[in-house]
Amino acid sequence: MPRPPRSDRPNHARRGGRPARRPNAAEQAGAPAPKGSARGRAPAPIRTDGPVLELEVERIAHGGIAVAHHEGRVVFVADAIPGERVRARVSDTAHERFWRADTVEVLEASADRREHVWAEASVDRAPERRAGGAEFGHIADERQRALKAEVLRDALSRFGGVERDVVVQAVDPALAPGARADGTGWRTRVRLHVAADGAVGPYAARSHTVVPVASVPLAVDELAALAPLSERFPGAVSIDLVAPSGADPQLVVSDGERMPRGERPVTSEVVGDRRFTVDRDGFWQVHRGAAATLTKAVQAAVDADRFDPRAANLDLYGGVGLLAAAIGDRFGDTVRITSVESDERATGHAGANLADWVGARALTARVDRFLAELEADASAGERARLREATVVLDPPRSGAGRDVVDRLAALRPAQLVYVACDPVALARDVGLLRRQGYELEHLEAFDLFPNTHHVEAVARLAAIV
């Protein structure tokens, strides 16, 4: 296919079409951002001469890294499974309380260890040359989901004060045609990076080093076929591969220059019988079956006995209207719902995407400011309709946070349906809401990012009368 101009670039970096955090550039290639690194700052180079330790791997931690101890010090170990004994090279000693290390040899393997689904990410490669973005690819699928459930369960206990069993569900294969049973073939958006010599590849794990690869197995087949892995792009910064469900796959070359907002191309995504317009550089769930999975999960999470279609229902961090549409499709065309999103272009698309419902509207506003204005200016009648409301919120990875939680609690909606991509952020907000008189009633978790540590959850919290 002809290459587009280099300025014609997507930036799949924010939820719901707003341009900046989830996932970041490294995460689009699948590589999680180094924890604690400043935004836009390259992480410290990985040490290749650190000491090699023999470690007993104890458990998994938030972020997908395993935990071990050496002479009383915590060691976070990549590419290991709890219960294994490994040799690991220390890669980072900058922190007094812990070190980081990478597995270089498995001495006693878990029964759940398998050949890595991405050869270029295997422990057979030197740590600094391992492709990032498939950090659980060496673990059997069921164990991956069990580890994610363990992290979510532990976070809810520690930060939310909730003891709750958790099961992480695989995506229904009927919702993700082409995705394979080993957790490959699901990514509809992939970002590859370009090295100084023009070579193309993902970043190595926890670094900004471009790693040449011969395959991108997590990508859907049409993107795997399109990926220019053997070509060179001198002067480019990144290559974006996009496979919308309602349009042809595309390859976009970026030289790092931002496209003027008015010139951003749009595309379409299809969920069931509904079509959504979204900026090509806006956020859309990357798993082929994710949007349909979350639509069904949000519909199931709403307690119908508490739902009032005439109440002042809200869809916060609403993006292009996916979850507001899920509410409308479940409860009919009499539903009143306001979708609130900070990005003006996403809000414009949401208005068009929600045009089926006379009572639906899309507002451009920061969620915290929108809630503050509601709290300050709502009439007695509006407050009554807010107390009967259902609020859906799908915040960025950092969560809603104390300010938004406090303002929501002050408005006292009947129920909250919270979509979360980070276990600790969800658990923290659950804890804040519990202190404000809400209780966790319903929780489902989904493996929308197979072969990575990421997990998505949908929770319902209800006001205690």
**Residue 418 counted as an annotated binding residue:** no
pLDDT band of 378, cuts 50, 70, 90: confident
Q: How does pLDDT run across 135-186, given as a tens digit for each residue?
A: 999 999 999 999 999 999 999 999 999 999 999 999 999 999 999 999 999 9
User: Do residues 321 and 349 touch, judged by C-beta distance below 8 A?
Assistant: yes
Known catalytic residues are 421
DSSP 49-85: SPPEEEEE--EE-TTS-EEEEETTEEEEEET--TT-E
**Residue 144 counted as an annotated binding residue:** no
Reference 148, options 439, 421, 441, 430; nearest CA is: 421
User: Do residues 300 and 446 touch, judged by C-beta distance below 8 A?
Assistant: no
The residue type at 354: L
Instruction: Give long-range contacts, CB 8 A cutoff, 24+ apart: 268-274.
Output: 268/244, 269/244, 269/245, 270/245, 270/246, 271/245, 271/295, 271/322, 271/325, 272/329, 274/325, 274/329
Dist. CA 233–CA 390, nearest whole Å: 49
Mean pLDDT of the chain: 90
Q: What is the pLDDT of residue 237?
A: 96
Give the residue carrying structure tokens 């406090």.
406
Q: Are strands 313-316 and 337-341 parallel, antiparallel or unpaired?
A: parallel
Residue 94 has pLDDT above 90, yes or no: no
Joined together, the tokens standing for residue 310 give: 């005439």
DSSP 328-362: HHHH-TT--EEEEES-HHHHHHHHHHTTT-TTEEE
Q: What is the pLDDT of residue 158?
A: 97
Q: How does pLDDT run across 190-242, given as a tens digit for each residue?
A: 999 999 999 999 999 888 999 999 999 999 999 999 999 999 999 999 999 99
Residue ranges of the chain that CATH labels 3.40.50.150: 147-173+270-463
Residue ranges of the chain that CATH labels 2.40.50.140: 52-134
Dist. CA 15–CA 20, nearest whole Å: 8
CATH class of 147-173+270-463: alpha beta
User: Do residues 362 and 347 touch, judged by C-beta distance below 8 A?
Assistant: yes
**Residue 341 counted as an annotated binding residue:** yes
Q: Which of the four CATH numbers 1.10.3720.10, 2.60.120.200, 2.40.50.140, 3.30.70.20 does domain 52-134 have?
A: 2.40.50.140
User: Do residues 440 and 164 touch, judged by C-beta distance below 8 A?
Assistant: yes
Residue 20 has pLDDT above 80, yes or no: no
Peptide bond just before 32 cis, omega within 30 deg: no
Instruction: State the Cα angle at 82 between 424 and 171, rounded to 5°.
Output: 60
Joined together, the tokens standing for residue 20 give: 């900046």
Q: How does pLDDT run across 335-355, given as a tens digit for each residue?
A: 999 999 999 999 999 999 999
* pTM recorded for the entire structure: 0.89
Percent above pLDDT 90 for the chain: 82
Which residues have a Cβ under 8 Å from the Cβ of 152 and sit 6 or more positions away?
166, 168, 423, 426, 427, 445, 455, 457
